[in-house]
Amino acid sequence: MKMKRPILVSFSGLDGSGKTTQIENLRSVLAERGYSSHLLAFWDNVVVLSRYREGFVHKVYGSERGIGAPGKPVERRDKNVRRWYLSLARHLLYLLDAIHLSWVVARARRAPVDVVIMDRYIYDEWANLPLHHPLTRAYVRLVNRLVPRPAVAYLLDADPIAARARKPEYPVEFMQKCRVAYKRLAMMLGTMTLVPAVDLPLAKQHVTSAFWLAAGKPAAPSGNSKELDAEAAA
């Protein structure tokens, strides 16, 4: 089974919101239906000068290395450092990332694959900008015209306290602000698919249902959709 053309899918959300779990589940579902997928990590495959940017925050701001895990917290100091000059630099760097993103996606779509999945997207960077500022909102809307629009751009919502318990890297207060920023960005763009903070099985249903709808393919039997929507709304 093949798609008419490679479909682009992205996953965004707080650290600890379950992106890795949902990506693995979607890839498994695709494989069961006979579709191939290719996974790209935004930081590894898209971000420009990632090595130097990471080295800068470690050296200048003392950000700890590694990934936080339950019982082994890591104190990150990068995107939660909000200096005016860093915000200015982020606008420039994120523009370079957007340009490179377009090239990376175009290249990935030339490969014999049905679905290109992005672990994080440019949206995760924009959520780190001062979206309350009119110039920043204008910048986001302009750059948004340059980047490929995913068939489904998932935004995984999560309770900041629960998310930090799964991946302890940033203070809860900062993660609460990030949650608000993500939702503000989603409302501004109007192109993101919100997966509510529900139990894992139900969240998986939302992800797979949204994908088959965007792909124009019949979804596999997975329960009553009206019941799922009612439970999510509750």
Burial code (b: 16+ CB inside 10 Å, e: under 16) for 28-60 equals ebbeeeebbbbbbebeebbbeeeeebeeebeee
pLDDT at res. 48: 97
The whole-angstrom separation of Cα 233 and Cα 206 is 12
- Domain membership of residue 1 (yes or no) is no
CB-CB contact of 137 with 188 (8 Å): yes
pLDDT at res. 227: 39
Whether pTM > 0.85 for this model: the answer is yes
Question: Mapping DSSP to helix (H, G, I), strand (E, B) and coil, where does residue 115 land?
Answer: strand
Question: Is the confidence at residue 234, as pLDDT, over 70?
Answer: no
pLDDT at res. 130: 96
Domain total of the chain: 1
- Altogether, the residues listed in the chain come to a count of 234
Percentage of residues of the chain with pLDDT beyond 90: 81
- Domain membership of residue 124 (yes or no) is yes
pLDDT at res. 46: 98
- 109-132 pLDDT, tens digit each: 999 999 999 999 999 999 999 999
- Domain membership of residue 75 (yes or no) is yes
pLDDT at res. 160: 97
- Domain membership of residue 76 (yes or no) is yes
Q: Which domain CATH number covers 198?
A: 3.40.50.300
CB-CB contact of 116 with 10 (8 Å): no
Task: Give the mean pLDDT of the chain.
Answer: 91
- Domain membership of residue 155 (yes or no) is yes
50 alpha carbon, distance to own chain's centre = 17
Min mean pLDDT across 36-40, 63-67, 87-91, 132-136 is at 63-67
pLDDT at res. 184: 97
CB-CB contact of 157 with 49 (8 Å): no
**Burial of 145 per CB tally in 10 Å (0-12, 13-18, 19+):** exposed
Sorted by sequence, the CB contacts under 8 Å of residue 87 that are 6+ apart come out as 129, 130
Mean pLDDT of 49-73: 89
Identify residue 202 by its one-letter amino acid code: L
- Domain membership of residue 193 (yes or no) is yes
**Burial of 220 per CB tally in 10 Å (0-12, 13-18, 19+):** exposed
Domain carrying residue 196: 7-233
Mean pLDDT of 10-32: 97
- Domain membership of residue 22 (yes or no) is yes
**Burial of 77 per CB tally in 10 Å (0-12, 13-18, 19+):** middle
- Domain membership of residue 177 (yes or no) is yes
